[in-house]
């Protein structure tokens, strides 16, 4: 039994062709963050008869089941990524729309310290930095 089938069954979802193919698109993609339209175009390129509405429906099911995470970054479409359980933050290149993942133990520590100082415990959080490449000196 392959990983995609196990992921679906573990999430309590039936193993269907559209679900399997959409998971495979994520697994095979060079980029980790894909829009529903990106997935749909990749399916079309492989002559898959899976409509855009089905892609959105499956992504919604995957999000509810904890298979994917949905991000609504400012100024862009929603993007989805497989939820592999490892927390990370994001930078968005505002010129190109490129999504860059990063992990910073220092930032994580500071966030917890700030919450503690204010009498809180962090249950969950999301950090998104909107960035632009530095201008190169001439």
Cβ-proximal residues to 38 (8 Å cutoff; 6+ apart), any chain: 29, 31
**pLDDT at residue 13, rounded to an integer:** 87
Per-residue confidence (pLDDT) for residue 18, from 0 to 100 = 94
Residue with tokens 């990749």: 42
According to the model, what pLDDT value does residue 138 have? 58
**pLDDT by 10-residue block (mean), the chain, 138 residues:** 74 90 92 94 95 96 92 85 88 90 94 96 92 80
User: Is residue 11 a contact partner of residue 66, using CB atoms and an 8 Å limit?
Assistant: yes
List phi, psi (to 5°) of 84: -100, 10
State the pLDDT at residue 85. 79
Task: Provide the pLDDT for residue 33.
Answer: 92
Q: Are 132 and 95 in contact (CB under 8 A)?
A: yes
C-alpha to C-alpha distance for 133 and 85, rounded to whole angstroms: 29
pLDDT at residue 111, as a whole number: 95
């Amino acid at each position: 039994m392959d990983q995609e089938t196990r992921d679906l069954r573990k999430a309590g979802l039936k193993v269907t062709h559209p679900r399997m193919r959409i998971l495979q698109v994520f697994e095979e993609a060079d980029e980790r963050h894909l829009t529903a339209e990106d997935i749909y175009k990749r399916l079309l390129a492989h002559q898959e008869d899976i409509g855009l509405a089905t892609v959105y429906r499956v992504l919604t099911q995957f999000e509810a089941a904890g298979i994917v995470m949905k991000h609504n970054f400012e100024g862009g479409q929603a993007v989805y990524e497989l939820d592999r359980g490892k927390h990370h933050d994001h930078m968005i290149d505002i010129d190109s729309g490129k999504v860059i993942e990063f992990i910073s133990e220092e930032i994580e520590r500071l966030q917890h310290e700030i919450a503690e100082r204010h009498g809180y415990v962090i249950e969950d959080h999301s950090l998104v930095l909107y960035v632009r490449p530095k201008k190169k000196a001439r």
